[in-house]
A = this chain, B = another copy of it.
Amino acid sequence: MPELRQNLANKEWVIIATERARRPEEFHQGVRTKPVLPERSPDCPFCPGNEAACGTEHFSLGKPDWRVRVVANKFPALVPDPPPAPPHTGLYRHLPGEGIHEVIIDSPSHAKHPALLDEAARRDLFLAYRERFRAAAKDPKVALTQLFKNHGEGAGTSLVHPHSQLIGSSVVPAGVRHRMDEAQKYHYKHKVCVFCAMAEEERRLKVRILADTPHFTAFVLFAALSPFHIWVLPKRHTATFGDSTDSELDDLSQVMGSLLRRVDRGLGDPDYNYLIQSSPQDRGETDAFHWYLSLIVRLTRTAGFELGSGMYVNTSLPEESARFLNGIPDGA
């Protein structure tokens, strides 16, 4: 029978559609659809040797043989110094598209997406994430920092060389405000962080857990919005990703390696996004919010129901998804 489940942190309902549920292995992509890529591609702006084709470099590890590199996006969604917007003449509100938009080139390899990176390279990548997060937090025009990765066309990527992105927005979207408000309400009522409570519950129940390490808890969400919807939470309560310590970063990059290898092998290199949810600048460190990484495998398409209601129909059972992923070897 179908079940309605509510995410405790953001109060979103999801329909777990058992009548149309598929077994985890049925989500395997089957025949490989992604091209096999060379280690270097002469025309790729992100490959070593083509550095001049990129925007301004903001950060790199290793010189001149860089291991990870952060550059300004050449087609930015937001820009640092836009001219003032034309005055408001009518009913609607608009603002200059102010903010920052950076590209994090994951590694020099054109071919190695994050499931294939070795541990040291992934550690460098997560270090770059943290450094750019910290820099964005100091930028007075940034109200919210979103760090994300799009893997595969179905996840919205256009350039194949593995890369991540950071957008620092000058406005805080309504959805983020609602998320913060719900966490705040829970904290006010129960005097505990709702994310800490969820991670503890998952460790206790053990039916959706994917990783339980010194610093992180990873699990398929009870109210997963889509098949294999995963959260990774630090055990230490902190609201901002930039606050992560070196040993937390070590641990996180290992947890992510294990998760991404299992997703890659178990589901046949599917498209996915991962993204870091961190407290907006005007809330900063708070007892009520907890940063987390969300991994969303793009196996299904949203339809009119989701677009209209904001409520998702998930055709998989989160407990089965977790059992399936835990059966996949995660060795590098």
A residues neighboring B (CB under 8 Å): 1-6, 8, 10-13, 15-20, 75-79, 82-83, 85, 90-98, 144, 146, 148-150, 153-157, 165, 167, 169-171, 173-176, 178, 182, 197-198, 201, 204-205, 222-223, 273-277, 294, 296, 300-311, 313
Q: 8 closest A-B pairs (Cβ-Cβ)? A: A175-B310, A2-B97, A156-B303, A148-B304, A275-B308, A273-B304, A173-B311, A4-B95
Does the CB pair B146–A4 fall under 8 Å? no
Chain B residues in 8 Å Cβ range of A198: 91
Chain B residues in 8 Å Cβ range of A305: 77, 146, 148, 165, 167, 275
Known: A148-B303, A165-B305. A97 touches B275 (CB 8 A): no
Does the CB pair B310–A197 fall under 8 Å? no
Known: A76-B19, A77-B2, A150-B303. A8 touches B309 (CB 8 A): no
Identify A304's interface contact among B19, B156, B205, B304, CB under 8 A. B156
Number of identical protomers: 2
Does the CB pair B304–A173 fall under 8 Å? no
Identify A4's interface contact among B15, B20, B96, B154, CB under 8 A. B96
Chain B residues in 8 Å Cβ range of A274: 304
Once bound together, how far apart are the Cα atoms of A212 and B2, in whole Å? 42
Quick one: closest B residue to A205, CB to CB?
Answer: B90
* Closest beta carbon of chain B to A66's beta carbon, Å: 23
Chain B residues in 8 Å Cβ range of A182: 174
Once bound together, how far apart are the Cα atoms of A279 and B3, in whole Å? 24
Does the CB pair B155–A97 fall under 8 Å? no
Chain B residues in 8 Å Cβ range of A308: 146, 148, 275-277, 294
* Closest beta carbon of chain B to A180's beta carbon, Å: 12
Does the CB pair A83–B311 fall under 8 Å? no
Identify the interface centre among A4, A91, A150, A308: most chain B CB within 10 Å of its CB.
A308
Chain B residues in 8 Å Cβ range of A149: 304
Chain B residues in 8 Å Cβ range of A176: 309-310
Does the CB pair B16–A92 fall under 8 Å? no
Known: A2-B82, A309-B173. A92 touches B223 (CB 8 A): yes
